[in-house]
Amino acid sequence: MLALATQELAEAVGDIPVIEFVEPIPGFREDRHFALVRLEEGSPLCALTSLDHQDLQFLVVPAVLFYPEFAPEVSDEVVGELAIESPEDILVLLIVHAGESLDQTTVNLRGPLLINTVTRRAAQIVLDDPRLSVTAPLLGE
């Protein structure tokens, strides 16, 4: 099991021009390459934009900024696929579902995105834990 990405890493997350998903995100089989771009300086919001299809974009946030206790267990298999050498290299992102207001905006804790900031490989992992919601409030803690 790996420890979380540190807050410092989340704060420092810069743009990552090309991220390769080692396997497709469920629901989007044809999109493997994405770019991570911080929406604006000082904002936790980042855009994860497909480089394979022009119109596909996800809004994501570093998990540690909103769910600091969130500590997904990462299997050895994923560690191998992402070529993870150090837990500090891993950035955990949550996909945001933008609601009509901040209170209605949710994040997916069931399927966090892991990005190895060194190898730039990524995966959406599936956490088989009923306590984790796919629609957890963004401002839940």
Partner 1 sequence: MLVLSRRVGESVVIGDDVTITVLEVRGDVVRVGVDAPRSVKVHRAELVAELAASNQESASPSQDAVASLAKALSAKGRRPGEQPGGSSPDRD
- Residues found near partner 1 in the complex (CB under 8 A): 23, 25-28, 39-40, 42-45, 47, 55-59, 65-66, 68, 76-77, 80, 95-98, 100-103, 105, 108, 110-111, 124, 126, 128, 134-135, 138-139, 141
Smallest gap, in angstroms, from Cβ of residue 26 to partner 1?
4
Residue among 14 and 40 whose Cβ is closer to partner 1: 40
CB crowding 87-118: b at 16 or more within 10 Å, else e: ebbbbbbbbbbeeeeeeebbbbbbbbbbbbbe
Which of 30, 36, 44 shows the shortest CA–CA distance to 14? 36
DSSP-assigned beta bridge partners for residue 16: 36
Task: Please return the burial class of 28, using the count of CB atoms within 10 Å of its CB with bins 0-12, 13-18 and 19+.
Answer: middle
**Closest CB to partner 1 among residues 12, 39:** 39
- By C-beta, is 17 or 68 nearer to partner 1? 68
Residue 79 tokens read as 């560690």
CB 30 within 8 A of CB 63: no
Give min distance, CB of 92 to partner 1, in A: 15
CB of 106 to partner 1, least distance (A): 8
138 token code pair: 């963004």
The Cα–Cα gap between 136 and 141 comes to 10
Amino acid at 132: L
Q: Least separation, in Å, of the C-beta of 15 and partner 1?
A: 16
Of residues 14 and 43, the one with the C-beta less far from partner 1: 43
Whose Cβ is closer to partner 1: residue 10's or residue 90's? 10
Q: How far is the CB of 102 from partner 1 (least distance, A)?
A: 4
